Amino acid sequence: MSRAAVPGLPSRYPIGGQLPALYHEDDFAQRFTAGLDTVLAPVYATLDNLAGYFDPRLAPPDFVAWLSGWVGGFDDPARPLELRREAVARAVELHRMRGTRRGLTEALRLVLGVSADVSGDGGATWSTTAGGAPPPPDVDTVLVRVWPGRTAEVDADRVEALVRTLCPVHTACRVEVLPGPPADLERSDPHA
């Protein structure tokens, strides 16, 4: 989409009407300023609707990607526009939950449209005595199991890229792509 000159777009603030009265009847002055009105009309229209450009639910489709980058969100142009808008609108909420199980599952659902279950703690260790050496670290990994949610298929490469971006650096994450919800999750939560 372009916000350049739009043929036939009338100016809400014609320059010819703002000239001194001497030039109101001058044909050259009116034609000259009408040409400027054609150039400035899209600028005025954009400025009059500026609030809509910053609202992800109203922004033009090409602005959604820009807005996503502006708020530090994740934008995937391959996703339907309405889901991209929702991901941008909830970017601040996702930032608050970043590094948590809930944050990771919500981001996977919003950005890629997949359902997910996260288990494991990343192998955190600590010493029980002050000043003592911590025990050797476990090689525990965070297991991220994903299956189709809003989408019919799961793109494993895109899931792994998003998980790498969202998991804390000090944790080892492993992704499993499943055909449907895991059996243990179905038994414990019928709404998964």
Q: Are 111 and 74 in contact (CB under 8 A)?
A: yes
Quote the CA–CA distance of 41 and 179 in Å, as a whole number: 53
Quote the CA–CA distance of 26 and 24 in Å, as a whole number: 6
pLDDT in tens, 60-107: 888 899 999 888 887 888 888 988 899 899 988 888 888 888 999 999
Say whether pLDDT at 191 is over 50: no
Quote the CA–CA distance of 158 and 166 in Å, as a whole number: 12
Q: In the predicted model, what is the mean pLDDT of residues 24-32?
A: 94
Q: How many CB atoms lie within 10 A of CB 169?
A: 6
Q: In the predicted model, what is the mean pLDDT of residues 27-52?
A: 90
Q: How many CB atoms lie within 10 A of CB 123?
A: 14
CA 51, distance to chain mean position in Å, is: 18
Quote the CA–CA distance of 100 and 118 in Å, as a whole number: 9
Domain boundaries, the chain: 16-48, 108-126+138-192
Identify the sign of the CA torsion 1, 107, 100, 54: positive
Computed over its alpha carbons, how large is the radius of gyration of the chain?
27
What one-character DSSP code corresponds to residue 108?
A: I
CA distances (Å), origin 52, targets 40, 44, 55, 56, 57: 19, 14, 5, 8, 8
pLDDT for res 187? 54
Q: Among 66-80, 114-128, 148-162, which stretch is predicted with the lowest mean pLDDT? A: 114-128
E strand or H helix that includes residue 147: strand 142-148
Name the average pLDDT for the chain. Answer: 84
Minimal CA–CA distance to 97: which of 108, 84, 113? 108
